[in-house]
A and B are shown apart, each in its own frame.
Chain A
Amino acid sequence: MVNGETSGNHVVLRANEIAKSYRQLEALTGLSFEVRAGEIIGLLGPNGAGKTTAIRVLSTILRASRGHFTVMDVPDSRPEEIRALIGVLPESNGFPMVMSGAEYLTYMGRLYGQPKTTAEAKAADLLRLFGLEHAARVRIATYSRGMKQRLATARSLINDPKVLFLDEPTLGFDPKGQREMLQAIREAAEVNQVAVILSSHLLEVVEAMCQRVLILNRGRVVAEGSVAEIKRQVAVPDTCRIQTAAEAVPHALSVLSSMPAVTVERHADHQNELIVAVQGRLDDAAMNAVLQQLIQAGVTIHAFSRESAGLTDAFLSMIEETQV
């Protein structure tokens, strides 16, 4: 799914000025946003930013101190109905260790009102989907961390949720498991039109998965929009790397430093490499001007690569700004 495709989908979650405070501590302030069916929205922020609090309030585990929200038009004053519509992968997962994976998922399914046979079939499907069928009858106590995380993810889907909250979903996965997990989330969003709210410290995961991002810091939303919009908001410069002969580097530095709006520095590890940034955007014209200047000055270019600023750069820049 790409940006914009979700615009025709209906809103499944609507949060309006949600706030949560613990005595003197304001853990969350003025959280307002909407999520549409099939959309994946990222929740970013440093530790203590309010991500987990936001998920706990929206999943009815915590009561909001102020503000309201609806899930599929069900108001937060009817939490049991909301819980039937959502799936949650909490940050920390515990299980009744004496149960097997199959027993546990069946139990959870039955708590969502499913008849026993339906819950058993659903549990078997999910165990297969998450590669746990071989451990279905084995006690959870013997599961590895990654297996437990898969089981917890399977549990979050046991009721075919309309909205899925995932708090650090890739925690405990090896790279292969992480890729499979993200694929399963994408499929849930695309095929079943599940709205996903994904909180992760792995910014590249959020960048790859999410159509929109909310950046929280100290309980407040400091930025909201698509990844591209957020990068524009903080004007993080793109850079390019230029490789030349080591002896030509001083000359190249002097040539580039005479160019207005160009900043250049020598790579810390690779002494024959220059990192060039241009004030504003490093578009094609700016890049060509840099290269042309170097070639005209007789600098031989061995290699050239362009690097776009990532969400990580934007995130760090934004967090630093709001902490000043």
Chain B
Amino acid sequence: MSKGKGQAGWQVVFTTEVRRLWLGWRGPLLLFAFSLFLTVYIVLLAADPEINVLSQRRMIGLTIQVTVLVGIFAVLLLGADSFSGERDQRSLESLLLTPVPRGQLAIGKLLAILSLWLGMIPIAIPYIALVGKGTGVVMASLLLLIIPGTLLVGLSAGVGVLVSGLSPTNVVSFGIAFVVMLLLAAPTQLPGSVKDLPGVHWLIVANPITAVASYQAEVIEGGAWTDRARLLLSPIIALVLAVGLGPRVLNSRLSLQGGVEE
């Protein structure tokens, strides 16, 4: 290795991947699609108060939930492509041939992917401010978007990168990552009557996505921030597992062939 101080491997990967994301088409295109989606969504939700039967606070809650869900699937898309995409275009081998520990490659890519979420938050702010106008919970809503939302988005990116690192092809990676996150996200659409069934409460608490959705809804409806903070336990644990253990797993398991035995 050459003398002199270069950056750590993960920093080099991070800065390069951020440039590729934002100077290429993917970052700007995803942000454009996101802002278009939010515009249509808000128009449908709030433009005609006469046909809208939801309370304003409920609308804010839904807006936050939708924003986080879009964030989850947008970073999942990038995460699931991170290593298997390089595998498919045969550029992974040269990356694996560098002396950078494979866990650091994963960290660099993961952090670069999360920059997309950082771009999505400012776009969501005016929409949430518009929907929450006059309710007095806009500030709280933004915090609910940023803090618990980031837990879920980080989890999703971590799952995407991990699955991508272990998958032999991009198709397999996208398939597995989306099935996992869809299974986690699906219960947010359960009707209220089902949520009251015995045992379902614990499923909601254990599932990071439903736990965060419940927490956000309760705080927006006037609950104290600390009252149901235990709902944030499962997303925090899941985030630590995906982001903390993922790179460790990839450090020893990231390989040229992915899932194929080597």
List residues 89-145 of chain B with CB under 8 A from any CB of chain A. Answer: 89-101
* Contact A110 to B86, CB < 8 A, known contacts A83-B99, A99-B20, A115-B4: no
Q: Is the CB of B97 within 8 A of A110?
A: no
Q: Is the CB of A84 within 8 A of B91?
A: no
Residues of B within 8 A of A217 (CB): none
List residues 114-130 of chain A with CB under 8 A from any CB of chain B. Answer: 114-116, 118-119, 122
Residues of B within 8 A of A59 (CB): 97
Q: Please pick, from B2, B7, B24, B97, the residue contacting A98 in the complex, using a CB distance under 8 A.
A: B24
- Shortest C-beta distance, B17 to chain A (Å), equals 10
Q: Is A38 an interface residue (CB 8 A)?
A: no
Q: Is the CB of A111 within 8 A of B89?
A: no
Residues of B within 8 A of A111 (CB): 9, 12-13, 95, 98-100
List residues 6-23 of chain A with CB under 8 A from any CB of chain B. Answer: 22-23
A159 to B96, CA, bound (A): 14
Q: Is the CB of B93 within 8 A of A61?
A: yes
A80 to B103, CA, bound (A): 12
Q: Is the CB of B2 within 8 A of A155?
A: no
Residues of A within 8 A of B261 (CB): 22-23
Interface size class of A (residues with CB under 8 A): 35 or more
Stretch of A85-93, A193-201, A253-261 contacting B (4+ beta carbons < 8 Å):
A85-93
A155 to B261, CA, bound (A): 28
Residues of A within 8 A of B101 (CB): 80
Q: Is the CB of A97 within 8 A of B89?
A: yes
Q: Is A307 an interface residue (CB 8 A)?
A: no
Q: Is B36 an interface residue (CB 8 A)?
A: no
- Shortest C-beta distance, B157 to chain A (Å), equals 20
Could you say which of A56, A98, A110 has the most chain B C-beta atoms within 10 Å of its C-beta? A110
Q: Is the CB of A83 within 8 A of B262?
A: no
Which residue on B lies nearest to A92, using beta carbons? B90
Q: Is A160 an interface residue (CB 8 A)?
A: yes
Q: Is A95 an interface residue (CB 8 A)?
A: yes
Q: Is B1 an interface residue (CB 8 A)?
A: yes
* Contact A114 to B96, CB < 8 A, known contacts A63-B262, A95-B91: no
- Shortest C-beta distance, A26 to chain B (Å), equals 14
Q: Is the CB of A108 within 8 A of B7?
A: no
List residues 66-121 of chain A with CB under 8 A from any CB of chain B. Answer: 80-81, 83-84, 86, 88, 90, 92-99, 107-116, 118-119
List residues 6-65 of chain B with CB under 8 A from any CB of chain A. Answer: 6-7, 9, 12-13, 16, 20, 23-24
Q: Is the CB of A107 within 8 A of B256?
A: no
Q: Is the CB of A90 within 8 A of B94?
A: yes
A63 to B95, CA, bound (A): 17
Q: Which residues of B contact A (CB under 8 A)?
A: 1-2, 4-7, 9, 12-13, 16, 20, 23-24, 86, 89-101, 255-256, 261-262
A-B contact pairs, 26 of them (CB 8 A): A22-B262, A61-B97, A62-B262, A80-B100, A90-B97, A92-B93, A94-B86, A94-B89, A94-B91, A94-B92, A95-B91, A98-B20, A98-B23, A99-B20, A108-B98, A110-B6, A110-B12, A111-B12, A111-B100, A112-B1, A112-B99, A113-B99, A116-B6, A118-B2, A118-B4, A159-B2
Q: 4 closest pairs, A vs B, by CB? A: A94-B90, A94-B91, A111-B98, A84-B99
Given contacts A62-B256, A94-B91, A114-B2, 16 further A-B contacts (CB under 8 A): A22-B261, A61-B97, A83-B97, A86-B97, A90-B94, A94-B90, A96-B86, A98-B20, A98-B23, A110-B7, A110-B12, A111-B98, A111-B100, A113-B9, A115-B4, A116-B7
